Amino acid sequence: MSSKKRNVYIVGIGIISPLGYGIDATEQALRKNESAIAPLHVFAIQQPPPLPVGQVLNLPDLTFPRTHRLAITAARQAMEGCTHPPDAVIIGSTTGGILTTEELLASQDQDAHNYRYHGLTTVAEEVAREVQCSGQALTVSTACSSGTVALSMALKMLQSGKAEWILAGGVDSLCHLTYFGFHSLQLVDPQGSRPFDKNRQGMSVAEGAAMLLLSTTKPQKPLGQILGCGLSCDAYHPASPHPEGKGASRAMQKALDNTALKAEAIDYINLHGTGTIENDRAESKAVRSIFPQPPPLSSIKGATGHGLAASGAIEAAIAAICLQKGLVPANTGCRQPDPECRLTPILQPVDLPISTVLSNSFGFGGNNACLVIAQPDLFSSPEPVVQSTSLTLLGKACITGAGHTQQSMERFSQGETMAGAVDLETISAQLPVRKVRRLKRFSRIALALADAARKDSGLDHSPHCVFMGSGWGSLSETYDFLDKLQQSQEQFPSPIDFVGSVHNSAAGQIAIMHEATGANITSSGGDYSFEQALLAADTFLDRDDRSNSAFVLAADEAHIQFSSLLDPSIEPATPLTDGGGCLSLCRQAMPGKLSLQLTFFRKKTTTVMDELITASGGKETLQRSCRMILAGIPAAEAKEGQAQLDSFLEKSGLTIPVIHYREFTGEFASASAVAAVMAVHLMESSEIPSREKILVLGFGKNVTCMEFGRQQN
């Protein structure tokens, strides 16, 4: 890997929020210091009066769910004037097509085709199609920090040379789940959000989107430069921040360390500032721990509301506006700053020269993410970390219909199916009853996987980071919340189900149980969710340090109502199957240990098989070193996936054993995570020479390759 410095420039910005469309409208609205928060009218509710929200007006009438429409609108703005597609699209989202799903469920619609845009991954896929991106279309879902995490991932990929152009950002739409969910937690201010005000009572749920076109190629007029990022996890509580702001403080300090800047170099802090009592207090403590004398600071959520996954991306776009226009936005809604916070937010817009901005985003599950954005070329980019190209395996675990790892691998070795949905008691057998009594199936599967992988590693400490994938997330909590909401005429939503419904709830629970305070990223990529989690791990595990290890896992749960509606590979008569797999990995090379590389991940194209062979070292290398293939072809992609596999075998000239792993695992989105454990099992139990490898290939909408081998001396 090259050690060349790579500056990451903001080339284009698309922004759509309650403040308006585009950079100019956003700037003018900020200068007016007026709140765009108003009573809900995006959808009708049964129990008036409607609460104040931040909603987008006059949204273009595209044939997609509302989240997709917001994202596509912002993407078109960001790509205006760009003559070529980005190498990758990375989007943070928590809602996906849920608003449409809510309407379909209310009408008792059982046509699975109508639910085809439910998945979070479909937002990134449609944006990639819109901008003609044939590379990776990635989705991260870390609650309210999702947009900032997406930008952080883009930054890391660009700095490492994995891409030259990336479109990244965040998007969420208003929906019943978030509107009633936050209300059920008593976190909504009926007068509208007033961050850091003495009399604040909570947040205002909002919607919006922002997309930033980023590149290592300097444009004629860059809109800013992203210098660095910092990620952390509180590992404290599923929905509440650490009261001392410890996780937030770590993320801010990591962002500064990543840029080699001192705190004094920051000219403006864009606060997360939701307006909830505890969140604002915790963030205040975190800011004061890093900045004894804070620079000008404010939260814009009193003007926009809290756009959830979109908020961090919207605020990154506004940070670029601040740099370009010399504007410090006001902390709209705050009239009397809370003396307990001991911060003095800017109460009126101010024109000041701004060179650097620190932008904060914090979310459920203790997910914290911060960005440092600056004037172009004002500071030197940090030297990229030269790292090994593979990850080292420390431990493994899986859960299938056959049970845990040992029972599952025994079935596999005997050539028998592992498909099915094991009972909850078996899943939870090794978990502390007190800690999991309120958790439903998805989180229990994830916790059991992480616990077993840690034990299998033989280490006396848990991994520091969590990278998780899931095609569908917490189906039980999502369905139960919406069902109870409907059955009670919207009077009794469940706060516990709401907190558990977010995609990153399980990863947050893993962090809490294992005190994993490092990066915590949940990816959602349908049948390629584990590969996306592995890509995130490969992107962020950039220290050659055994202590900086990670859980890398993916899981999905079977759900009697949702599975056949959402997953196109599952027919109504298909036996329900679920489970997942987990690997404990580190970056440090350990001769003799098994190694893992994600060597390929691209959308299907006419040349994708040739590109896969090239990425795998070419025909001669494949024929010399590849011992076996585990092939994953989702049932919904059976015909095309088999054609892709046949083409690969013909073009590569390979005549080795091919195992269709879904014949063993059954059909569920995270089956490739189990296949990874199957590959490790084969490497450990078979007499495979040290220089030979097993490939786990994924086919269908995307073509992926995971390469399992052994570390050489």
Instruction: Give yes or no: residues 669 and 695 share one domain.
Output: yes
Dump the DSSP string for 38-74: EE--SS--SSSSPPEEE--SS----SS-HHHHHHHHH
When pLDDT is cut at 50, 70 and 90, the band that residue 385 belongs to is low
Cα angle value 599/602/608 (rounded, 5°)? 95
3-state SS, one letter per residue, for 72-99: HHHHHHHCCCCCCCCCEEEEECCCCCHH
Q: Percentage of the chain surpassing pLDDT 70?
A: 98
Average pLDDT, the chain: 95
Q: Could you tell me if residue 20 is inside a domain?
A: yes
Q: Could you tell me if residue 114 is inside a domain?
A: yes
Instruction: Give yes or no: residues 682 and 562 share one domain.
Output: no
Instruction: Give yes or no: residues 698 and 642 share one domain.
Output: yes
In this structure, which amino acid lies at residue 597?
Q
pLDDT tens, 317-360? 999 999 999 999 999 999 999 999 999 999 999 999 999 999 99
Concerning whether 242 is annotated as a catalytic residue, the answer is: no
Concerning whether 144 is annotated as a catalytic residue, the answer is: yes
When pLDDT is cut at 50, 70 and 90, the band that residue 384 belongs to is low
Q: What's the whole-number mean pLDDT along residues 453-464?
A: 92
Packed helices 529-540 and 671-685: angle between N→C axes, nearest 10 degrees = 70
Q: Could you tell me if residue 127 is inside a domain?
A: yes
Q: Could you tell me if residue 701 is inside a domain?
A: yes
Give me the helices (H) in 260-401, please. Answer: 277-290, 301-304, 311-325
- Given this model, what pLDDT does residue 591 score? 85
Contact 210, 314 (CB under 8 A): yes
Q: CA 75 → CA 13, 289, 559, distances in Å?
A: 8, 37, 34
Find the helix or strand (DSSP H, E) in which 102 lies.
Answer: helix 98-106
What are the beta bridge partners of residue 522? 468
Which DSSP letter does residue 380 get?
A: P
Structural domain span for residue 624 = 594-710
Q: How far apart are CA 484 and CA 8, in angstroms?
A: 46
- Given this model, what pLDDT does residue 460 score? 83
Single residue among 310, 339, 374 that ends a domain in this structure: 374
Q: Could you tell me if residue 379 is inside a domain?
A: no
pLDDT tens, 30-49? 999 999 999 999 999 998 89
Total count of domains within the chain = 3
Q: Could you tell me if residue 313 is inside a domain?
A: yes
Q: Could you tell me if residue 197 is inside a domain?
A: yes
Q: What share of the chain is helix, strand, coil (3-state, %, to 5)?
A: 35, 20, 40
Q: What's the whole-number mean pLDDT along residues 671-694?
A: 92
Instruction: Give yes or no: residues 422 and 324 share one domain.
Output: no
Q: Would you give the distance in Å from CA 655 to the centre of its chain?
A: 38
Neighbours of 85 (CB within 10 A): 17
pLDDT tens, 559-603? 999 999 999 999 888 889 999 999 999 988 888 899 999 999 999
Q: How many CA atoms lie within 13 A of 48 on its CB side?
A: 4
Q: How far apart are CA 649 and CA 656, in angstroms?
A: 9
Q: How far apart are CA 218 and CA 510, in angstroms?
A: 40
Structure tokens at 406: 């040992």
Instruction: Give yes or no: residues 566 and 601 share one domain.
Output: no
Instruction: Give yes or no: residues 280 and 332 share one domain.
Output: yes
Instruction: Give yes or no: residues 429 and 503 share one domain.
Output: yes
Task: Identify which has the larger pLDDT, 192 or 690.
Answer: 192
User: Residue 543 pLDDT more than 80?
Assistant: no
Q: How far apart are CA 618 and CA 615, in angstroms?
A: 7
- Given this model, what pLDDT does residue 51 score? 95
What are the beta bridge partners of residue 10? 214
When pLDDT is cut at 50, 70 and 90, the band that residue 388 belongs to is low
- Given this model, what pLDDT does residue 62 score? 86
Single residue among 586, 605, 623 that ends a domain in this structure: 586
When pLDDT is cut at 50, 70 and 90, the band that residue 544 belongs to is very low
Single residue among 538, 554, 586 that ends a domain in this structure: 586
Instruction: Give yes or no: residues 581 and 623 share one domain.
Output: no
Task: Identify which has the larger pLDDT, 212 or 387.
Answer: 212
Torsion angle in degrees (nearest 10) through CA of 638, 639, 640, 642: 70
- Given this model, what pLDDT does residue 713 score? 65
Q: Which residue among the candidates 68, 118, 176, 306 is catalytic per the annotation?
A: 306
Q: Could you tell me if residue 384 is inside a domain?
A: no
pLDDT tens, 84-139? 999 999 999 999 999 999 999 999 999 999 999 999 999 999 999 999 999 999 99
Instruction: Give yes or no: residues 199 and 244 share one domain.
Output: yes
Structure tokens at 524: 């959602």
User: Residue 689 pLDDT more than 90?
Assistant: no
Q: Which residue among the candidates 68, 176, 242, 272 is catalytic per the annotation?
A: 272
Cα angle value 325/331/335 (rounded, 5°)? 140
- Given this model, what pLDDT does residue 1 score? 42
Handedness of CA 151, 157, 158, 160 (dihedral sign): positive
Dump the DSSP string for 423-485: -HHHHTTTS-HHHHTT--HHHHHHHHHHHHHHHHHT-SS--SEEEEE-SS--HHHHHHHHHHH
Q: How many CA atoms lie within 13 A of 55 on its CB side?
A: 17
Instruction: Give yes or no: residues 425 and 540 share one domain.
Output: yes
User: Residue 381 pLDDT more than 90?
Assistant: no
Among 580, 536, 601, CA closest to 678? 580
Q: Is 656 exposed, middle or buried (0-12, 13-18, 19+ CB in 10 A)?
A: middle
User: Residue 547 pLDDT more than 60?
Assistant: no
Taking phi over 0 as left and psi of -120 to 50 as alpha, with beta for the rest, 383 belongs to: beta
Which CATH number does the domain housing residue 537 bear? 3.40.47.10
- Given this model, what pLDDT does residue 546 score? 47
Instruction: Give yes or no: residues 557 and 677 share one domain.
Output: no
When pLDDT is cut at 50, 70 and 90, the band that residue 386 belongs to is low
Instruction: Give yes or no: residues 598 and 582 share one domain.
Output: no
Which CATH number does the domain housing residue 653 bear? 3.40.47
Neighbours of 432 (CB within 10 A): 11
